[in-house]
């Protein structure tokens, strides 16, 4: 008797959100830590996750690991005007606030007046990234950096007042970036997730790196 085809995902045609991808990334990380996936399998499935556009493309990635319940899309409330000294400019299309950086046997750098997307994927394989957000514009009150350092390093510098929340894992490596010692409740929050494998993900505030303090409200340097 021939095998029956898998039942199609009831919402396979729907666009995948960052929350949907984050759920899959968390499952893959746990599978790697528990030994259910090899490093090569984890890297391959992680790439598939980050490239997935629909729920139907995400579902097979963890089919043999954990059955994920896909949350229904929820409307986001309109953001109130920011009173943070760190510039926050909501994007016209939040779904397009996405960036990917890759450094393989080389290095990448972001500094000056650049825009920190709501989600940034940074891969460093035998290479490194320097993400200096001192004078950057944030496209959300909370932004997420997915940092994956394999025999490489990723350094993150945040403006004064910005809080950093570490949710990554270090395996034979270090994972931990520090935010400001004097957090501003109106400033953005940078969530750092991912994996450091024989490498390091770290960071500091701009005061520790550059000696920069808060600028007067309403004044921001342009570079």
Interatomic CA distance for residues 204 and 177, integer angstroms:
6
- Minimal CA–CA distance to 163: which of 68, 98, 107, 84? 84
Separation CA 139–CA 71 (nearest Å): 24
The whole-angstrom separation of Cα 154 and Cα 147 is 7
Does the pTM exceed 0.75?
A: no
Helix or strand holding residue 166 (H, E): strand 163-166
Residue pLDDT tens, the chain, 223 long: 444 445 555 566 788 887 888 888 888 888 887 888 888 888 888 888 888 888 888 888 888 886 444 443 443 444 444 556 889 998 888 888 989 999 999 988 999 999 999 999 999 999 999 999 999 999 999 999 999 999 999 999 999 999 999 988 999 889 988 888 888 888 999 999 999 999 999 988 888 877 755 444 443 433 3
First-to-last C-alpha distance (Å) of the chain: 68
* DSSP for residue 200: E
Q: Nearest-CA neighbor of 155 among 174, 132, 134, 139?
A: 132
């Amino acid at each position: 008797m021939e095998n029956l085809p898998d039942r199609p995902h009831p919402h396979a045609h729907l666009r995948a959100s960052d929350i949907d991808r984050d759920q899959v990334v968390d499952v893959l990380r746990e599978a790697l830590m528990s030994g259910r996936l090899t490093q090569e399998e984890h890297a391959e499935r992680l790439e598939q996750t980050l490239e997935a556009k629909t729920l139907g493309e995400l579902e097979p990635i963890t089919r043999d690991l954990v059955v994920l319940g896909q949350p229904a899309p929820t409307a986001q409330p309109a953001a109130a005007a920011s009173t943070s000294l760190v510039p926050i400019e909501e994007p016209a299309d939040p779904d397009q606030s996405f960036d990917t950086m890759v450094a393989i046997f080389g290095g990448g750098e972001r500094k000056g007046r650049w825009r920190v997307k709501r989600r940034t994927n940074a891969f460093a394989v035998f290479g490194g990234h320097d993400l200096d957000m001192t004078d950057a514009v944030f496209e959300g009150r909370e932004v997420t950096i997915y940092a994956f350092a394999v025999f490489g390093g990723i350094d993150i510098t945040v403006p004064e007042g910005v809080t950093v929340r570490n949710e990554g894992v270090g395996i034979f490596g270090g994972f931990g970036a520090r935010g400001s010692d004097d957090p501003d409740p109106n400033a953005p929050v940078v969530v750092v997730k991912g994996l450091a494998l024989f490498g390091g993900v770290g960071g500091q505030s701009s005061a520790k790196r550059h000696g920069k303090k808060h600028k007067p409200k309403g004044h921001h340097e342009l570079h």
